[in-house]
């Protein structure tokens, strides 16, 4: 998580406790994002945009092997469309990955509609502190 986004540290800790394989994004130049495997928070460093991310040499996990993707958003709507930070990294990821995707969003930031373009991709569900909404 970054800035004012809902915290994901407890979720990651639980995934490790449950023996899940965890991959987090690493943004690279040219709009490229890769999923990199990490086994602890110690493997993260401040990267592009000041966001914690794995080192370049961390093992890559192909998008096709991701089962669940937690996709960040600034705000979203009930159809699963989300406002990101304008880089398109996650829209490209959602187009390339078969993973079930969710966004964590504060209820107050779930809007009636968010502006979107033809290249924007929706997540499958939105999770707030009040519950889960499956994208329609």
Question: Going edge to edge, which strands form the sheet with 131-134?
Answer: 68-70, 100-104, 125-128, 131-134
Query: Is the pLDDT reported for residue 136 higher than 90?
Result: no
Q: Quick one: which of 62, 63, 41 has its CA closest to 53?
A: 41
Question: Cα-Cα-Cα-Cα dihedral of 99, 93, 83, 76, to 10°?
Answer: -10
Summarize pLDDT for 51-109 with one digit per residue, the tens: 889 998 999 999 999 999 999 899 999 999 999 877 888 899 999 999 999 999 999 99
Q: Residue 64: its pLDDT value, please?
A: 94
**How close are the terminal C-alpha atoms of the chain, in Å?**
25
Delineate the domains of the chain, giving CATH numbers in brackets: 9-134 (3.40.50.10420)
Q: Of 121 and 47, which is predicted with more confidence?
A: 121
Integer Cα distance of 20 and 57 in angstroms: 21
User: Residue 100 forms beta bridges with which residues?
Assistant: 68
Query: Is the pLDDT reported for residue 48 higher than 90?
Result: no
- Give the best-scoring range by mean pLDDT among 1-10, 15-24, 48-57: 15-24
Summarize pLDDT for 120-130 with one digit per residue, the tens: 999 999 999 99
Q: What is the mean pLDDT of residues 23-43?
A: 92
Q: Residue 23: its pLDDT value, please?
A: 96
Query: Is the pLDDT reported for residue 22 higher than 70?
Result: yes
Integer Cα distance of 131 and 86 in angstroms: 27
């Amino acid at each position: 998580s970054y800035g004012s986004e809902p915290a994901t540290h407890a979720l990651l800790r639980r995934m490790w406790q449950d023996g899940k394989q965890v991959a987090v994004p690493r943004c690279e130049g040219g709009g490229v994002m890769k999923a990199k495997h990490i086994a602890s928070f110690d493997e993260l460093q401040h990267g592009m945009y000041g966001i914690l991310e794995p080192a370049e040499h961390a093992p890559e996990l192909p998008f096709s092997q991701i089962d669940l993707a937690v996709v960040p958003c600034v705000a979203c709507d009930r159809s699963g469309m989300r406002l990101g930070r304008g880089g398109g990294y996650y829209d490209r990821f959602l187009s390339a990955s078969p993973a079930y995707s969710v966004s964590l969003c504060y209820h107050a930031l779930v809007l009636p509609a968010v502006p979107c373009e033809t290249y924007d991709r929706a997540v499958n569900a939105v999770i707030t502190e009040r519950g889960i909404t499956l994208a329609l």
